């Protein structure tokens, strides 16, 4: 059940990439080039958050530059090839001057658990069971199918005032 209060103080949305912006699938051509499919709805959600002064970043274990390319197109910072996500997130929180209750981490698998436990952890609808168990909220949408947009909508519709967003 949704507790909209969870999202009211959020000033930074941190997302994993594979399984969050994608459906956790990869397309590999005969030359070994990898491609992924992302939802434009999720990208619009990111854009709407940015317009309201809410920062969005990606921290991904994936070592393929498709992560960087997609984030660059969305105009958001991205840290890719990261094995230990928590320290990167904590550094970014310090840079932004944020407390754990002002940060939402959207993840889908066991390599997201530390970050999900540290801040307001949210899991995509088709996340690993361990991620779902510790999540404060599980999206109705699956990864790559509007989960980021769903969280963006909750943040934007949480009753925050413009002053709280800045």
Tell me the per-residue pLDDT of 103-116, one tens digit each, with 9 for 90 and over: 999 999 999 999 99
Q: Count structural domains, the chain.
A: 1
Q: Quick one: average pLDDT of 11-39?
A: 96
Backbone angles phi, psi at 105, to 5 degrees: -110, 125
Q: Closest Cα to residue 37, out of 52, 26, 49?
A: 26
Q: Quick one: average pLDDT of 41-70?
A: 96
Q: What is the pLDDT of residue 160?
A: 66
Q: Quick one: average pLDDT of 145-154?
A: 98
- For residue 73, the domain's CATH number is 3.40.50.1000
Q: What is the pLDDT of residue 165?
A: 44
Integer Cα distance of 68 and 76 in angstroms: 9
Domain range for 111 is: 5-165
Q: What is the pLDDT of residue 161?
A: 56
Q: Closest Cα to residue 107, out of 10, 5, 24, 6?
A: 24
pLDDT at residue 138 is higher than 50 = yes
- 57-112 pLDDT tens trace: 999 999 999 999 999 999 999 999 999 999 999 999 999 999 999 999 999 999 99
CB 15 within 8 A of CB 56: yes
Q: Burial of 118 by CB count in 10 Å (0-12 exposed, 13-18 middle, 19+ buried)?
A: middle
């Amino acid at each position: 059940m949704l507790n909209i209060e969870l999202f009211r103080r959020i000033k930074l949305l941190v997302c994993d990439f594979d399984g969050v912006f994608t459906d956790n699938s990869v397309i590999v051509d005969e030359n070994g080039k990898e491609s992924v499919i992302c939802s434009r709805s999720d990208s619009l959600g990111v854009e709407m958050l940015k317009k309201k002064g809410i920062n969005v970043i990606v921290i991904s274990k994936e070592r393929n530059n498709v992560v960087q390319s997609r984030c660059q197109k969305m105009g958001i910072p991205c840290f890719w090839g990261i094995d230990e996500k928590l320290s990167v997130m904590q550094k970014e929180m310090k840079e932004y001057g944020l407390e754990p209750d002002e940060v939402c981490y959207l993840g889908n698998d066991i390599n997201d658990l530390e970050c999900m436990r540290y801040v307001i952890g949210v899991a995509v609808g088709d996340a690993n069971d361990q991620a779902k168990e510790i999540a404060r909220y599980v999206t109705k949408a699956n990864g790559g199918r509007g989960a980021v947009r769903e969280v963006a909508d909750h943040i934007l519709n949480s009753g925050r005032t413009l002053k709280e967003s800045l």
